[in-house]
Amino acid sequence: MAVNWEENTLYDYLLNPKKAVSREIREVLVARAAKFNIALDDVSITSLTFRKEFTAAIEAK
């Protein structure tokens, strides 16, 4: 099923907490990299993939 971007769907669900999710992912990656003496300047999420069941559950809401 195609996502209707005009409705409150997976798109809205993911964009609303985007900053918090990005911050948390960055914190985890920076902490893990530091254990190996690696300093991360920036973290960029370019693609997210979800299981079919998750996507279907969000779209069904």
> Where residue 13 falls among pLDDT bands split at 50, 70, 90?
low
pTM (2 d.p.): 0.53
- Give me the mean pLDDT over the 5-33 stretch: 74
- Give me the mean pLDDT over the 3-7 stretch: 51
CB 23, CB 57: distance < 8 Å: no
CB 13, CB 2: distance < 8 Å: no
Classify residue 4: in a domain, yes or no.
no
Q: Domain span at residue 14? A: 10-60
Classify residue 1: in a domain, yes or no.
no
CB 5, CB 13: distance < 8 Å: no
- Give me the mean pLDDT over the 25-41 stretch: 93
Classify residue 3: in a domain, yes or no.
no
DSSP string, the chain: ----TTSSSHHHHHHTTHHHHHHHHHHHHHHHHHTTT---S----------HHHHHHHHH-
How many domains, the chain? Answer: 1
- Give me the mean pLDDT over the 8-31 stretch: 75
Classify residue 2: in a domain, yes or no.
no
